[in-house]
A and B are shown apart, each in its own frame.
Chain A
């Protein structure tokens, strides 16, 4: 069964540094998402992406965040200047369609900001 893959599995970075989290969605999926889960808290929606542009974003997704689909396979989340509170598990997900289509999640990248 095709899977969403994320790299790296764990990223440690210093406060103020830029990080890029990478995701390879399922190949025939068209809708892409980033979620995050701060330890002990809920899984939270960050952003959705379709047709090479952001379709929706939450209030968490401020100017420090950006997403990109640089080629036909990768979907990246960039945090420009990391803060301690960005430490979380970041999940990438993809879906075949926009309606009634379950999300398929990757293993997540654990980001630790020190």
Chain B
């Protein structure tokens, strides 16, 4: 079964700093990859997704992620964070043939200092 690892439990940045959150998965087959964000007191929201095609995926709010198949990685990036990006970020993966059993990483809490 697939699993997801997020390397950083808590990241603290100042506004305008660049962000990269690591995500690695273990699954040998075709995968769909997602990043979800959870702002304080709110629901999980889809930030971006990769199904196929261009491995560099652009999402909402200036976020992007790059799928590197050889490294089983799907790291999330943003060139310049804002205070409003303070949230919990979850990487998730499911097998490409089945939506069921989406596996989530443990999450990375991002705190952006104004």
Contacts and interface: CB of A to CB of B under 8 A. Distances in A.
Interface residues of B, number: 24
A49 to B, nearest CB: 10
Interface residues of A, number: 29
B64 to A, nearest CB: 17
Interface string A35-58: 100000111110010000001101
B52 to A, nearest CB: 8
Contacts of B103: 45
Interface string A101-112: 111111110000
A75 interface: no
B90 A48 contact: no
B13 to A, nearest CB: 22
B68 interface: no
A18 B97 CA distance: 36
Contacts of B101: 45, 48, 56, 58
B36 interface: yes
Interface stretch (B19-27, B40-48, B72-80): B40-48
A100 B42 contact: no
Interface in A80-106: 91, 93, 95, 97-106
A42 B104 contact: yes
Interface of A: 3-4, 31, 33, 35, 41-45, 48, 55-56, 58, 91, 93, 95, 97-108
Interface of B: 32, 34, 36, 42-46, 49, 51, 90, 92, 96-107
28 contacts: A3-B43, A42-B105, A42-B106, A43-B44, A43-B107, A45-B101, A48-B100, A48-B101, A56-B100, A56-B101, A58-B101, A91-B43, A91-B44, A93-B44, A99-B96, A99-B97, A99-B98, A100-B32, A100-B99, A101-B99, A103-B46, A103-B99, A104-B46, A105-B45, A106-B43, A107-B42, A107-B43, A108-B44
